[in-house]
Structures are given as structure tokens and as C-alpha cells.
Amino acid sequence: MERRVVITGIGGLCGLGTDAASIWKAMREGRSAIGPIANSELHELKGMIGAEIKALPEHDINRKQLVSMDRFSLLAVIAAREAARQAELSIDEGNTYRIGATVGVGVCGWDAIEENYRAMLLNGAKRAAILTAPKVMPSAACAQVSMSLGLRGPVFGVTSACASANHAIASAVDQIRLGRADVMLAGGSDAPLVWGVLKSWEALRVLSPDTCRPFSADRKGVVLGEGAGMAVLESYQHAARRGATILAEIAGAGLSADAFDIVAPEVEGPEAAMRACLSDAGLNAEDVDYLNAHGTATRANDQIETAAIKRVFRHHAHSMSVSSTKSVHAHCLGAASALEMIACVMAIREGVVPPTANYREPDPDCDLDVTPNEPRERKIRVALSNAFAMGGTNAVVAFKLV
């Protein structure tokens, strides 16, 4: 018998706020965190925009661990600790080997990379800082989460660009379904607001000069942000046995690849991932009330995602609510779908669809109900989260009311 997987805690921080509650409040209000990047002493980002965390929350991470962490790992640890607190998760020698972590990342430790390049190439340093290698490795975030919380079960990193967090969540679900763990901390983290990363995205000619307007006819492209989102996933039996509050159930996941182009998207891959997710969850298209779109605000991505949604949901595509919360927290790369997990869970719990902010002009090629600018109350029993990454790696997760 397949083990059901539920969520008992969520945590996060991004430009919208430094905990899951404040992130959700800003999402549902359509309040954007996008603006000029201020913390630019190291990275020379004057004149660039993004969704930046202005100040980190208070935390009690000890100095020895702090000096071994790049920013993306620190964000993951803060979010994971919040999720574990909400879940009232007790970790001890009796269960430590049954609790693990998966953390998705997109660009990993660029703070440390840039700091060392500047030190050696500009300032004449003879060698890199001693902890550079463990700081920048893509698996650093999950390793730091495991050390911070004392997790000795399955622990591994996941990297698939903009779909990393959804892939991490799907992988964590698999560990629980297969009986390798009873509990998994899962989500994503990224800190891409550094000079080299932003200039790389600028070279692709996809960055917006003003703000993020998904599905709006006058959209101009992507805005990058930083952040992390984490969830405590448990088997339903484990959560019920310890009397945990269940926030939502992860009904299923669907994964696919375009196998088409390293940057250009295609309809068939996203379509296949959504169909696979519905099949894995045992859902019909008509069961879905809300879809949190990948919604990057590039012309091609929004049109192709709309076309894929129409193929999968047919007539129901115009009945369900769709929105892109990247319009407020920007595109946080490996953390994007982890923050969107928070949106889906809270939309189900509160019966509110968060809006697509900054929307101004209808696009005939993006003609779904994208919840422009204002939140909408509706009963949400099932929510889907789309994540379609550069390179054509796609991951869709279905959440449902318990």
C-alpha cells in the first residue's frame, strides 16, 4: 500500500518577508518586493533591480557553522528551522536516521565565488579562502540543514535550474513512499543577486528593466530574487501517530524533459509533466481549483505555458484560477517553486488565490483567468505548482486539502 505524504510545517524567507506567514501575507495582497538592489557593496549592482532580502531574521546559528556557509545555505537553514518548529518536530537518537533532507539549488555559492575571484584577481591574494570548496558545492545547503537539525536519514542536493525545488520535493516524497524515511525536510534555496549571475542573465536578454508582469501583454522579462522555502514532509501515519497538525497533502508529482533546447521552451514537456502529475495523484483535470504557474514574464515562456495548460485541462482551463507569484517575489531560481509551495499550501488552507501582480494589458495568447492584481476567494481543494526550467527539465507537484 502506497504511503500518503503530508506537510506539517513550512518555512521561508525572501524579499517579501523573513517567515512563511509574512511571505504569504504579501503574496495574497499582491505586494511586490521588486526594486533597486541596495546591498551592493561587494557586487557593484547599482542600477540593477531584484527582490532582495533587506535584513536577515534573528537566528542562533553558531559562529563555527556560520563561517562554513555561503548565503544560499544560510537561507536554507533558516527556512528549515522555521518549518521544523511549526511542525513541532522532535529529533533525537531514536529517530534521527529516519529523517532526511533534500534541498534544490540553481546557481549555488556565488557569493563565495565572487569574493574569492576579487581577492585573487584584483587584490593579489595568493590563494582562495580555506572553506571555499565546501561553501560553493551544490549539496552544501542540504548538508548544512542536516547538521543544523541533526538529520541522519537520506540527505542529498538536487539541481535542475528553475525546477530544482519541485524536483527536491518530488524526490523527498519518493523517499517516504519507498519507506527509506518517515520525515523529510524538502525545498529549495538560492542567492543569485551577485554581479556575475546577474550579468549572465542580462546577456541572455531576458531581464526586465522595471518589474515582473507575468501574462500581461506588455511584459518585458524576468526579475531575479533571492530566498528559500522548506517544508516538513511526513508519512500520513507518522504525522497522525504523533498528533501533528497537517497543513496539506502532497497528492502527487510529475516530471518530464523537453529534450529540445538549452534555453528555448517547448509545449510538449510541460504538458507531459502536468499529465504525469495528475496521473500520479489520481486526479482528473476538473479536480484542480488553482494552478500556481511557472509564469516568468518572458514572452515565450508565458505563451507556451498557457498553451500547455489548455492542452491538459481543455475546457476546465478557463474555469480554474491561475496566477504567478513571481510577480511579487521575483524568480528565485532554485528556491522559486519552494516559495510557490508556500503559496499553494496557504491558498488551500485559507481559500484565497494570490494574484498576479503588475498586470496591465490582456494578451490574447495568455487568455486564462490569471487572477490579475487582486486576490480572489474560492474553495481550493487541489492546487498544482508548475516549474519549468532552462534546459527543459520540468517538475509539477499537486497539493490537496486533507
Q: Let me know whether 56 and 193 are in one domain.
A: yes
In a domain, 247, yes or no: no
Per-residue confidence band for 243, with pLDDT thresholds at 50, 70 and 90? very high
Is 43 one of the catalytic residues?
no
Q: Could you give the CA distance from residue 96 to residue 36 in angstroms, rounded to a whole number?
A: 43
The answer to whether residue 135 sits within a structural domain is yes
Q: How far is CA 215 from CA 51, 283, 325, 354, 370, in A?
A: 19, 26, 12, 15, 7
Same domain membership, residue 133 and residue 263: no
* Same-domain status, 229 and 266: no
What's the confidence (pLDDT) of residue 40? 65
Report the predicted TM-score, pTM, of the whole model to 2 decimal places. 0.97
Per-residue confidence at 44, pLDDT binned at 50, 70, 90?
Answer: confident
The string of pLDDT tens digits covering residues 168-182 is: 999 999 999 999 999
Long-range contacts of 284-287 (CB under 8 A, 24+ apart): 285/312, 285/313, 285/314, 285/316, 286/316, 286/319, 287/381, 287/382
- Of 365, 346, 359, 372, give the one whose Cα is nearest residue 306: 365
Domain C-terminal end among 241, 275, 307? 241
Q: Identify which of 233, 188, 173 has the alpha carbon closest to the alpha carbon of residue 338.
A: 188
Q: Are residue 175 and residue 294 in the same domain, yes or no?
A: no
Active-site residue (options: 43, 167, 238, 331): 331
Determine which one of 142, 162, 212, 332 is catalytic. Answer: 162
Whether pLDDT at 43 is above 80:
no
Question: Using one digit for the tens of pLDDT, what is the confidence trace for 313-336?
Answer: 999 999 999 999 999 999 999 999
- Which residues does residue 254 pair with via DSSP β-bridges, in sequence order? 396
Same structural domain for residues 227 and 330? no
Q: Name the residue with cell 518555512.
A: 11
Same structural domain, 275 and 206:
no
Residues 136 and 271 occupy one common structural domain: no
Same domain, yes or no: 21 and 163: yes
167 is known as an active-site residue: no
Last residue of a domain, one of 241, 271, 287: 241
Report the pLDDT averaged over residues 248-262: 97
- Looking at the fold, whether 48 and 178 belong to one and the same domain comes out as yes
The residues with which 49 forms a beta bridge, in sequence order, are 36
Asked whether residue 293 falls in the same domain as residue 365, the answer is: yes
Same domain, 206 and 280: no
Give me the CATH number covering residue 366: 3.40.47.10
Radius of gyration of the chain (CA): 20
What is the reported pLDDT for 47?
82
Number of domains the chain contains? 2
Structural domain that includes position 316: 252-400
| Catalytic residue (one of 43, 167, 294, 329) | 294
Question: What's the pLDDT at 46?
Answer: 78
Q: What is the mean pLDDT of the chain?
A: 96
CB 210 within 8 A of CB 36: no
Q: Residue 162 catalytic?
A: yes
Question: 98 and 181 in contact (C-beta within 8 Å)?
Answer: yes
**Which among 219, 241, 263 is the end of a domain?**
241
With bands split at pLDDT 50, 70 and 90, how would you rate the model's confidence at 45?
Answer: confident
Q: What is the pLDDT of residues 102-133, one digit of tens each?
A: 999 999 899 999 999 989 999 999 999 999 99
